[in-house]
A and B are shown apart, each in its own frame.
Chain A
Amino acid sequence: MFDWSSLKDYAGLLNYWVVIVLMMSGFYVVIAQHNMIKKIVGLNIFQVSVFVFYISMGKVDGGSAPILKDGIDVYSNPLPHVLILTAIVVGVATTALALALVVRINHSYGTIEEDEIQAIEHDEEDIA
């Protein structure tokens, strides 16, 4: 007889599975891609997984938004949610800066492919 309760346990952790999948795919994209824009996309996916992680851990089963109201006595923890607002802002700033750098790299190298840039830099070092 299949144990349905254990399946429920795993389903309850669905958010964390999502976090792990997102985190690893984002991380993989950052490492494996040569295109700088794709790297930034990967970095964003990686960061978003952390947002999901924080938001999930603040959620309490059956908990409501933390506003005082009659008849509600279970609240979700608002702190991780607030923390992640800060992290989102940081993430946006990082992405903006990274994109600005890519624009300038494209201006001065004429490419945003990491391997091509590496080849150009390598040639320069031979001359210098």
Chain B
Amino acid sequence: MIPESDPWLILLVVVPLLAAPVCVLLRSAGGAWSLATAVSWAVFAIALKLMDTVMEHGQAVYRIGGWDAPWGIEYVLDPVGAFVVVIVAAIGAIILPYAKRSVEKEIRRDRIYLFYTMLLLCLSGLLGITVTGDAFNLFVFLEISSLSSYVLISLGNDRRALTASFRYLIMGTIGATFYIIGVGLMYQVTGTLNIADLKTIMPAVEDTRTIHAALAFLTVGISLKLALFPLHMWLPNAYTFAPSVVTAFLAATATKVSAYILLRIMFTVFGAVDLFESFPLQPVLIIMALAAMFLASLSAIWQENVKRMMAYSSIAQIGYIVLGIALATEAGITGGVIHMFNHALMKGTAFMAIGAVVYATGAVTLKDLEGIGKRMPMTMAAFVIAGLGLIGVPLTPGFVSKWQLVSASLEVDMWPLAALILLSSLLAVMYIWRVFEVAYLRQPQTPLQNTREAPLSMLLPTWVLAALAIYFGANATFTLDLAHAAAQQLMGGY
């Protein structure tokens, strides 16, 4: 039976996409912000509605123009997709209220409406990637989100934001082009672009060199967008010099969506093929993930700039996500998927707290932040919660995902992996401690004497996210069930 078309699926993408040019027409900073905020909340409501539908029926489908797949483009949302859609939409809805004051301070007034235009385009692109059931359509959304994020990053105050954006553009375009080369090679052999259709045809053609080459191009291309070690070179500068809001938004969503593409390719497009049996992909991915966990954490320890420290920490956390995916067991994927959610919560909180500090003091380097914990107790408390989560202390979301990853590695008898996961957490202790020590155990210096807490409009969203982190850290049944359902469906196929 063909399921009914669910129009909410297309609205999820079209609403922010259409709101973006309206922002340009408004031309006023306040108007653009109001519209963007309203849209982000509407999108979040639609995302929850879709999540509900998916929980009830297993999936939601929309056929564009009424054309049946595989001829027309279809939008499909399954449990994994719904999970990622809710992450992206929730982060969007929380970050926009926060953005108002931060953006007013960091971006020239006559450019603010363009900022919101780009943010909406980026949101729409990220959501589009998650809902589309067409491999080429995915590329289009990938470029919509990428092009808008290059612009968002270049809006940073420091001139190094421009070069960071340029380097990201070069790397990102190569990544996306690799992706379409892969899609093209698959199309040559299978004659289809529909992801579900690709899955059914794949077993018949998997042993051709064309498909091997396609898989190689796809993996490398996505890894570039994902900033998987050693293809992460663009990320630290991009996150460091982008406006605070952009860093928080991209760190919490963009890499998660790239991880989602990786999941889609490996477990849906190649879902009917025993991918890890026929290609030596698993050891490669595990080694890259481990290298990311250790080397990026080590780099984080030596950073003086807190934003850059958190950027390196992001690369390390991506390592955990990829490690879970690479285990290719139900438990492993559950760990990877739940870490996508938990990391979005923790890194979102951390970068929003840093953004609030930048708003109040204008400083991001450790030596300028001595005693900041005494001046901005609420902001730094949120940062500490996020930091504890990154370490993986019990009762934080980081503990849930690390527990899941450790038990997943024990399940497949890879106990050295379990040990390495725990060991890498110690590195996180070191960099988080450096911030903690500077913020709490030192006396505020003269420049910070008059520093006051960030405005409520920034503090409140930061704390909403921190509270969510505490809640889902203490009570992970709900998220674990969701992640498990997603993993089950990925392993079983639809």
A→B interface (CB under 8 Å)? 27, 30, 36, 39, 43, 46-47, 50, 53-54, 57, 80, 83, 86-87, 90, 93-94, 97-98, 101-102, 104-105, 108-109, 117, 121, 124, 128
CB < 8 Å neighbour of A108 from B162, B173, B184:
B162
Chain B residue with minimal CB distance to A98? B169
**B329 beta carbon closer than 8 Å to chain A:** no
In contact, B147 and A97 (Cβ under 8 angstroms)? yes
CB < 8 Å neighbour of B169 from A50, A90, A101:
A101
CB < 8 Å neighbour of A83 from B136, B165, B170, B173:
B136
Tell me which residues across on chain A come within 8 A of B154, comparing CB atoms. 101, 104
In contact, A39 and B181 (Cβ under 8 angstroms)? no
In contact, B174 and A117 (Cβ under 8 angstroms)? no
**Contacts A98-B169, A121-B160 hold; do A53 and B181 have CB atoms under 8 A apart?**
yes
**B187 beta carbon closer than 8 Å to chain A:** yes
In contact, A121 and B184 (Cβ under 8 angstroms)? no
**Contacts A90-B140, A97-B147 hold; do A50 and B174 have CB atoms under 8 A apart?**
no
CB < 8 Å neighbour of A117 from B147, B163, B184:
B163
In contact, B151 and A97 (Cβ under 8 angstroms)? yes
A29 to B184, CA, bound (A): 23
CB < 8 Å neighbour of A104 from B147, B162, B174, B365:
B162
A57 to B187, CA, bound (A): 9
A22 CB to nearest B CB, Å: 12
Tell me which residues across on chain A come within 8 A of B177, comparing CB atoms. 46-47, 50
In contact, B184 and A50 (Cβ under 8 angstroms)? yes
In contact, A53 and B184 (Cβ under 8 angstroms)? yes
Interface class of chain A by DSSP: helix
B461 CB to nearest A CB, Å: 29
B168 CB to nearest A CB, Å: 10
In contact, A39 and B162 (Cβ under 8 angstroms)? no
Chain B interface residue count, Cβ-Cβ cutoff 8 angstroms: 25
**Contacts A43-B173, A50-B177, A102-B166 hold; do A108 and B159 have CB atoms under 8 A apart?**
yes
In contact, A80 and B173 (Cβ under 8 angstroms)? no
**B188 beta carbon closer than 8 Å to chain A:** yes
A81 to B140, CA, bound (A): 15
**B330 beta carbon closer than 8 Å to chain A:** no
CB < 8 Å neighbour of A109 from B140, B159, B184, B187:
B159
A19 CB to nearest B CB, Å: 9
A selection of 11 A-B contacts at a CB cut-off of 8 Å is A36-B166, A86-B136, A90-B147, A94-B147, A97-B169, A101-B150, A105-B162, A105-B166, A108-B159, A108-B162, A124-B160
A97 to B151, CA, bound (A): 8
Tell me which residues across on chain B come within 8 A of A109, comparing CB atoms. 159, 163
In contact, A43 and B159 (Cβ under 8 angstroms)? no
CB < 8 Å neighbour of A128 from B150, B184, B365:
B365
Tell me which residues across on chain A come within 8 A of B162, comparing CB atoms. 101, 104-105, 108
Tell me which residues across on chain A come within 8 A of B160, comparing CB atoms. 121, 124
A93 to B169, CA, bound (A): 11
**B333 beta carbon closer than 8 Å to chain A:** no
Chain A residue with minimal CB distance to B146? A94
A121 to B158, CA, bound (A): 11
**B453 beta carbon closer than 8 Å to chain A:** no
A36 to B166, CA, bound (A): 9
**B206 beta carbon closer than 8 Å to chain A:** no
In contact, B163 and A94 (Cβ under 8 angstroms)? no
**B78 beta carbon closer than 8 Å to chain A:** no
7 tightest A-B CB contacts, nearest first: A108-B159, A90-B143, A101-B166, A105-B162, A57-B188, A104-B162, A94-B173
**B180 beta carbon closer than 8 Å to chain A:** yes
Tell me which residues across on chain A come within 8 A of B170, comparing CB atoms. 30, 39, 43, 98
CB < 8 Å neighbour of A80 from B140, B184, B365:
B184
A90 CB to nearest B CB, Å: 5
Q: A97-B169, A101-B162, A105-B163 are in contact. List 13 more A-B contacts (CB 8 A).
A: A30-B170, A43-B170, A54-B184, A80-B184, A80-B187, A87-B139, A94-B143, A97-B147, A97-B150, A98-B169, A101-B166, A104-B162, A109-B159
A51 CB to nearest B CB, Å: 10
CB < 8 Å neighbour of B165 from A27, A94, A101, A128:
A101
A50 to B180, CA, bound (A): 8
In contact, B184 and A30 (Cβ under 8 angstroms)? no
* 8 A Cβ contacts from B199-231 to A: none
CB < 8 Å neighbour of B180 from A87, A94, A97, A101:
A87
B213 CB to nearest A CB, Å: 11
Chain A residue with minimal CB distance to B165? A101
Tell me which residues across on chain A come within 8 A of B180, comparing CB atoms. 50, 54, 87
Tell me which residues across on chain B come within 8 A of A54, comparing CB atoms. 180, 184
A29 to B332, CA, bound (A): 40
Tell me which residues across on chain A come within 8 A of B187, comparing CB atoms. 57, 80
B185 CB to nearest A CB, Å: 9
A102 to B188, CA, bound (A): 37
Chain B residue with minimal CB distance to A30? B170
A36 to B139, CA, bound (A): 25
**Contacts A50-B180, A80-B184, A101-B154 hold; do A30 and B174 have CB atoms under 8 A apart?**
yes
